[in-house]
A and B are shown apart, each in its own frame.
Chain A
Amino acid sequence: MPRPFHETLAAHGRELRRGRPSTLQVNVGLLCNQTCKHCHLEAGPKRTELMSRATMEQVIGFAAAHRFHCIDITGGAPELNPDLGFLLERLAPLADRLMLRCNLTALDELAAGTRQELLGLCQRLRVALVASLPATNEAQTDAMRGDGVLGRSLATLRSLNALGYGKKESGLALDLVSNPSGAFLPPAQCQMEKRFRDELQRRWGVVFNHLYTFANVPLGRFRSWLERSGNLEPYLEKLAGAFNPATVDGLMCRSLLSVDWQGYLYDCDFNQACGLPMSGSRLHVSDLAGVPGEGVAVRTGDHCYACTAGSGFT
């Protein structure tokens, strides 16, 4: 196994300390209609954890008191939280950019009226959509995310395009995220973006703004698969071998506050997945007088190697 992440940082003369937070990431629950094999949070249809409206109000109060450049709503599938519209409406005026991460198939599972209402709200509030799409071929996408997911995702992308999402002139951002379909590193982002753009446009007439490629994080359901398949050690060695000290200053955990579905704070979504609260104690968003954490060491584990491999995960 590779040496502990903090030792690698020290060997390169680096420290990982929090700066001033510019992004508030809000996880509204672990309920999801998919059971993706690489999910670090083990989200799925059987999960019942959902952020309540009372916790949302506490998050909104916190966001109103401390201006963030970006607010990033994630899950699970945030679309399945019945109070998502309420949260979006209240948070939109409080940040320069409001992002919603969606899996492209959960929208299908909403009643037609609810779906239309949610999409209309996103359009009106100029919410930037960030959608997972690992590959442009059925074999890889469906192997990771479930049977039929590629086809359903493309149908949703086409309907988002029809609303203006992904079209440069509309100002409605539609970004894609691609994770590798296994225990290997992602392709270079610029090359993969070009390939996605060509293939999605040529084969399905789908457009988008940007594609981000990220390594799978060895936590949750993905870590269980790594263990079962005998890939854990080689994968961790691969990530550690690709450690790039130049990524450290730009790591998202330095400028992000991650709030879980109950309102507790973490340095990032990955620390949330493995139960490493920010500063080592469970701080609740409602208990904070100011923006916490500046100068405090970020809590780390072997999963951090996924964010420092190659060009990094920012």
Chain B
Amino acid sequence: MNSYYDPEDLGRFGEIGKDAPELAGKFFDYYASVFAEGALSEREKALIALAVAHAVQCPYCIDAYTTGCLEKGSNQAEMTEAVHVAVAIRGGASLVHGVQMRKIAGKLSL
């Protein structure tokens, strides 16, 4: 094994069901339902997935949903903005903890 991440593993995702088929079946059925056209379009859901993939830093998901977004008709400007949404939330989540830091520091300071 040259790397913990192998792009070919993405195509083997289904093998995860080998020793727990019932759980895998439920997960994949749920997954398919989540991404089906609903109140949100498949294209919008793929853009959300792309943003989340960056937030959780999953290379398999980034690979899958980059292609997925293109195949649902999104363009690179839209996809880049979606990534910025993930970045803003991640960055904001760190920064908002600064309030906690400032409260503690304030309490300890003269």
Contacts and interface: CB of A to CB of B under 8 A. Distances in A.
Interface of A: 135, 137, 139-140, 180-182, 184-188, 191-192, 195
Interface in B28-86: 37, 41-43, 67, 70-73, 75-77
Interface of B: 37, 41-43, 67, 70-73, 75-77
Contact of A180 (B37, B42, B70, B76): B70
Nearest to B76: A139
B67 A184 contact: yes
A191 B43 contact: yes
B70 A137 contact: no
B98 to A, nearest CB: 37
Contacts of A140: 75-76
- For B67, B70, B77, the residue with the greatest tally of chain A CB atoms inside 10 Å of its CB is B70
**Minimum-distance CB pairs A-B, first 3:** A187-B73, A184-B70, A185-B71
A310 B73 CA distance: 15
A137 B77 contact: yes
Contacts of B41: 191
Contacts of A195: 43, 73
B72 A139 contact: no
Nearest to A237: B11
Given A180-B70, A187-B73, A191-B73, 12 more contacts: A137-B77, A139-B77, A181-B75, A184-B71, A185-B71, A187-B43, A188-B42, A188-B72, A191-B37, A191-B43, A195-B43, A195-B73
Contact of B42 (A139, A182, A191): A191
